[in-house]
Chain A
Amino acid sequence: MTHTVTLGDALDMTAAAPLVKELLGVRGQPLTLDASSVRRLGGQCLQVLLSAQTTWAADGQPFAIVEPSPEFTEGLALMGATDLCPISPVQD
C-alpha cells in the first residue's frame, strides 16, 4: 500500500536530518508526500526530496508529492526544481 508522509511546515535546515530518517524508514514501498502544510522549503530539504525521488525511482517504487501548498510550489520554482512536483498534481 502507498505510504503517506505529511511534510512538516518548515522544511528548513533543521528539518533535513529528521526527514532523511523518516523517509529511510518507509523505503521499499510506494510513497506519497503530502506537501499541503509546507510553509517554507530550504535547499537542504530539497536535496533530501530530490535524493528520495531518485532513490525511489531506483527501487522501482512510485513516488509522488501531492497537494503542494503555494509556498511549497513557490519554493520549488525559486530553486528551479518544479520537476519534483508538477504544478498540477495528480492525485492517486
Chain B
Amino acid sequence: MDPLAAIRETFFQECEEQLAELESGLLAMEGGDQDPETINAVFRAVHSIKGGAGAFQLEALIRFAHVFETALDEMRSGRVPITPDVLKTMLRAADVLADLVRAAHDGSETEHPLASGLVDELKAMSGQAADEDEAEEDWGDFEFQPMAAAVDMPEAPAGPAGFVVKFKPRGDLYAKANEAALLLRELARLGQTVVELDAHEVPPLTEIDPEAAYLAWTITISGDTDEIAIREVFEWVDGDCELEITKQGPADGGFDMASLLARVQDEAPAEDEGPAVVPANAGEVDVASLIANLSPAAAPEPEPAPAIAPPTLSVVASAPAPAAPDAAPEAQAAGGPRKSEAGATIRVDLDRVDRLIDLVGELVINQAVLAQRVMEAGLARASAVAMGLDELEQLTREIQDSVMAIRAQPVKSVFQRMPRLVREVAAMTGKPVRLVTEGEGTEVDKTVIERLADPLTHMIRNAIDHGLESPEKRAAAGKPAEGVVKLAAFHRSGRIVIEVSDDGGGINRERVKGIAIEKGLVAAEATLSDEEIDNLIFMPGFSTAAEVSDISGRGVGMDVVRRSIQALGGRINIVSKPGKGSTFTMSLPLTLAVLDGMVVSAHGQTLVAPITAIVETLQPKAEDVHSLGGHARVISIRGGFVPLIDVGMALGYRRDPLEATQGVALLIEGEGGSRAALLVDAIQGQRQVVIKSLEANYRQVPGVAAATILGDGRVALILDIDTIVTVSRGDMRKAS
C-alpha cells in the first residue's frame, strides 16, 4: 500500500473510533452525564475528524464537521444549554457525520441529503449566521486578554521560529462565506501574533463595493509553530487570497518521519522530537504535516532542532493557554489520553489473526490425531507418552482459548449502531422510543459480531414498528408515551444471549393465529399453545403487518432473522405478554471456530451434535416408544411425550427406522424450548471439534450445520439440530 493510502486508512480507522466516542459521549449526556470531560471528549472527537479531513481535503466532511464542532463548542462553553432537544440534534448530526466519513472513505463524497438541514439547525442553535457556510464561529469564547497582550506589545521580538504571513483576501473568499477575521483568529492560536493592517485600498464610502475585498494583513507569528500549521489555517481559502509565508530567524526543527508516523499510529512521540512537530493544536496538524513530509519536495532537510526555545519566549507563548478555553482540551487531545492508550493496544490485521486461528484449529485436529494414534498403539493411559499428550491437550486448549480471545470483541460495536437506527425508525413511525442497552461489554467472536448486525437491525425495527403501540394507544393503556426498547447481552452457559425486548402491546395471538390460518401455515382446527402461536411469526411467509410497511416490511420477515441466527448456530425464541410487551431471545455460540460436540454414529456415519443443544442422553425402553403411524414415533420421558427422530433416516442414511431400543436417544431442546429426542446408533464420546464450513467448501446441506475433521482424519458432519427437528416435525404433520 502506498504510504499515503495507509495513512488515509489509519485516519478512517481513527474516525470510526472517534465516531463511536462521539456517539457514546452524546448518549451519556442524554442519560444525564454532566461531566465536563464527557463534553470535551465529544468535542475532541469532532475536532479530530475535522482536522484529519482537512489534511485529506475532504470538503463536505470539513464543512459539516466545522459547523458541528462550533455548535459543540457552544455547548461546552455553556452558552447552548444541554437539553434533550439539543442532544437529539447533536445525535442526528453525529449520524450525518458518520455518513459523511463513510462516504469520504468510499470516495463517494457527495452532498448528504440531511446535511444542509442540520447545518442550519446547528447554526441556529449556536447562533451562527445561517447563511454563512463555514468559518463562522462564535467569538465569545475567545478571551480578549491574550490578544490584548499581543497587541499591546507591538515591539515584542519575533521568536526564533517566527513567520511572516502576508494575507490579502480576494472577494471570492468572502463570497464563499469564509471570513478573514476567523483566519486571523486561527493564526492567533498558533502563537503570539502581531497583526498589521493595510487599509490603503479601501475606497470612500460612495465607491465601496460591500462584496469586494480591500484589506490586506501582515501577520508576524512567533512561538512554536511551523509553516504547515499556518498553511492549514488557509487551506479552505487557497486560491481565494494572496498568501505569502516567509520564515524569519533561525530555522525550526526538521521533521522526524518515524516519530510523525508514530504519532499517527497513536504512539507516543519520540523524546528527541523537535518543537516543530508539537504545534499548538497538534491534534489537527499531525496528519497534515505527515502528508507534507511524504512528498520529498516539501520535506525540509532535517536540521538540528534548536535546543529549547528561550525560556522567556516559551512563557509568553504559553501564556494564552489558560485564558483560551480551547487550548487546554486540545492539548489534552493531542497528548494526554492517546499516550496512555498507546501501550495498551496494538492494531493487527484481521487476516493475521484469522490465519493464527486457522492454524490453532489445525493444531487441535493434529493433537486429536496424535491422541488417536497413541491409543491405537495400545499404550497405557498412565504411560509417559499418554500423560504428555494429556498435557499437550490442555495446552492446546489454552492456546485456542487465548487465540479466540484475541478475536473476541465486545458486542458494543454492534450495539452502537442501534441508537441511530432507533432514532431513524422512531422518526419514521412517529413513536417516541428510548433505547436501553445492557451488557455492551459482553465479548463474542468477531465473526459472530459481524453477522449479528443484520438480524439485530431487523429485530429492533420490528420491535418499534410492530411491538410498540402508537403514543395514543400507550396513553390509553396508561403507559408513558415514550416506548422502551431494551437490548441486552450476557453470557450464559458458554453462549452469548442477546435479548431484544419492548414494552409494547405484546403479540396479538388471535390475529397471529388468524393470519397463519389464512395463509395456510397452520390448519384451521389446530390447537396451538400460546408459545406455539408466538413462534408462528418466525414461519416463512408470515407477516402481521396488514400492509407492508416501509420499516420492517421490505418482504423480509422474522423467518429470515431466524434463518440468519440459525446459520450462526444460534437459536431464537420469543416470549410475549399481552399488554406488557415481547422479548426476543437469541442464543449464539461464542465462536464460529470451535464447538463442543457429542460424537455419535448413525448407520456407520460419524456425526457431531452440538453439546449445547443436548439436555440429556438416554437409552430408550421399548414401552416408552409409541408409533404414530408411518415412521413417526414419540418417546415418553418423565410423563411427557417428545417426538423421536431417527437421525439416520432424517439424513437419508437408511430407509427403515432403527429399532429404538438398539440406539441411544439424545434429548435436545430446540428453539422456543421445544424438545425432541434424536435417535442415534451409539455415542462415541464428547470432544471439542474445529468447525469447517461446509458452505465454503461444498454447499449448504439441510440438516448439516458444518463439518469437522476427527482424530482419525475422517470428516464428520455437524448436525443442524433445529433443522432436523423442524423438518421431521413437518414430516410428522404430513404423516398424521
Q: Which residue numbers of A lie inside 8 Å of B, CB to CB?
A: 10, 12-14, 16-17, 19-20, 23-24, 27, 39-44, 46-48, 50-52, 54-55, 58, 70-71, 73-75, 77-82
Tell me how far the C-beta of B415 lies from the nearest C-beta in chain A, rounded to whole angstroms.
42
Q: Can you list 15 A-B pairs, Cβ within 8 angstroms, ordered by A?
A: A13-B177, A14-B129, A42-B179, A44-B210, A46-B181, A47-B214, A47-B215, A51-B202, A55-B204, A71-B139, A74-B147, A75-B139, A78-B181, A79-B195, A80-B217
**Residue B197 contacts which of A10, A24, A70, A79 (CB distance < 8 angstroms)?**
A79
The CA of A74 and the CA of B127, in the complex, are separated in Å by 18
Assess whether B151 is in contact with A82, with CB atoms less than 8 Å apart. Answer: yes
Assuming A13-B174, A79-B184, A82-B151, is B203 touching A51 (CB within 8 A)? yes
Assess whether B188 is in contact with A78, with CB atoms less than 8 Å apart. Answer: yes
Assess whether A19 is in contact with B181, with CB atoms less than 8 Å apart. Answer: no
Q: Which 5 A-B pairs give the minimum distances between C-beta atoms?
A: A43-B180, A80-B195, A80-B197, A16-B210, A17-B210
Note all chain B residues with C-beta closer than 8 A to A82: 151
Note all chain B residues with C-beta closer than 8 A to A12: 129, 132, 136, 179
Nearest residue, chain A, Cβ from B177: A13
The CA of A70 and the CA of B144, in the complex, are separated in Å by 7
Note all chain A residues with C-beta closer than 8 A to B169: 43
The CA of A42 and the CA of B204, in the complex, are separated in Å by 19
Main SS of chain B's interface residues? Answer: loop
Note all chain B residues with C-beta closer than 8 A to A77: 144, 147-148, 151, 195
Note all chain A residues with C-beta closer than 8 A to B174: 13, 42-44
Assess whether A20 is in contact with B208, with CB atoms less than 8 Å apart. Answer: yes
Does chain A have a CB within 8 A of B140? yes
Note all chain B residues with C-beta closer than 8 A to A42: 174, 179-181
Tell me how far the C-beta of A27 lies from the nearest C-beta in chain B, rounded to whole angstroms.
7
Does chain A have a CB within 8 A of B142? yes
**Residue B204 contacts which of A10, A58, A74 (CB distance < 8 angstroms)?**
A58
Tell me how far the C-beta of A56 lies from the nearest C-beta in chain B, rounded to whole angstroms.
8
Main SS of chain A's interface residues? Answer: helix
Note all chain B residues with C-beta closer than 8 A to A19: 210
Tell me how far the C-beta of A3 lies from the nearest C-beta in chain B, rounded to whole angstroms.
14
Contacts A78-B195, A80-B195 known; list 16 others, CB within 8 Å. A20-B208, A27-B205, A42-B181, A44-B174, A44-B211, A46-B215, A54-B204, A70-B144, A74-B139, A74-B142, A77-B151, A78-B184, A79-B180, A79-B184, A81-B197, A82-B151
Assess whether A24 is in contact with B205, with CB atoms less than 8 Å apart. Answer: yes
Note all chain B residues with C-beta closer than 8 A to A27: 205
Does chain A have a CB within 8 A of B131? yes
Tell me how far the C-beta of A69 lies from the nearest C-beta in chain B, rounded to whole angstroms.
10
Assess whether B185 is in contact with A78, with CB atoms less than 8 Å apart. Answer: yes
The residue in A19, A42, A82 that gathers the most chain B C-beta atoms within 10 A of its C-beta is: A42
Assess whether A17 is in contact with B211, with CB atoms less than 8 Å apart. Answer: yes
Assuming A47-B208, A48-B208, A54-B204, is B179 touching A13 (CB within 8 A)? yes
CB under 8 Å from chain A, chain B span 155-214: 169, 174, 177, 179-181, 184-185, 188, 195-197, 199, 202-206, 208, 210-214
The residue in A40, A46, A52 that gathers the most chain B C-beta atoms within 10 A of its C-beta is: A40
Assess whether A48 is in contact with B205, with CB atoms less than 8 Å apart. Answer: yes
Assess whether B132 is in contact with A14, with CB atoms less than 8 Å apart. Answer: yes
Assuming A13-B177, A40-B139, is B202 touching A54 (CB within 8 A)? yes
Assess whether B140 is in contact with A39, with CB atoms less than 8 Å apart. Answer: yes
The CA of A70 and the CA of B206, in the complex, are separated in Å by 29
Assess whether B210 is in contact with A20, with CB atoms less than 8 Å apart. Answer: yes
Assess whether B197 is in contact with A78, with CB atoms less than 8 Å apart. Answer: no
The CA of A71 and the CA of B181, in the complex, are separated in Å by 12
Note all chain A residues with C-beta closer than 8 A to B196: 80
CB under 8 Å from chain A, chain B span 116-142: 127, 129, 131-132, 136, 138-140, 142
Nearest residue, chain B, Cβ from A54: B204
Note all chain B residues with C-beta closer than 8 A to A71: 139-140
Tell me how far the C-beta of B204 lies from the nearest C-beta in chain A, rounded to whole angstroms.
5
Nearest residue, chain B, Cβ from A71: B139
Note all chain A residues with C-beta closer than 8 A to B217: 79-80
The CA of A9 and the CA of B326, in the complex, are separated in Å by 23
Assess whether B199 is in contact with A41, with CB atoms less than 8 Å apart. Answer: no
Assuming A13-B174, A78-B147, A79-B215, is B199 touching A50 (CB within 8 A)? yes
Assuming A71-B139, A78-B188, is B205 touching A51 (CB within 8 A)? yes
Assess whether A55 is in contact with B144, with CB atoms less than 8 Å apart. Answer: no
The CA of A47 and the CA of B213, in the complex, are separated in Å by 8
Nearest residue, chain B, Cβ from A58: B204
Tell me how far the C-beta of A17 lies from the nearest C-beta in chain B, rounded to whole angstroms.
4
CB under 8 Å from chain A, chain B span 316-366: none
Nearest residue, chain A, Cβ from B147: A77
The CA of A10 and the CA of B208, in the complex, are separated in Å by 20
Note all chain B residues with C-beta closer than 8 A to A20: 205, 208, 210
Note all chain A residues with C-beta closer than 8 A to B197: 79-81
Note all chain A residues with C-beta closer than 8 A to B139: 39-40, 71, 74-75
CB under 8 Å from chain A, chain B span 56-112: none
**Residue A23 contacts which of B184, B188, B205 (CB distance < 8 angstroms)?**
B205
Nearest residue, chain B, Cβ from A81: B197
Assuming A51-B203, A77-B144, A81-B199, is B208 touching A41 (CB within 8 A)? no
Nearest residue, chain A, Cβ from B148: A77
The CA of A77 and the CA of B138, in the complex, are separated in Å by 16
The CA of A19 and the CA of B214, in the complex, are separated in Å by 16
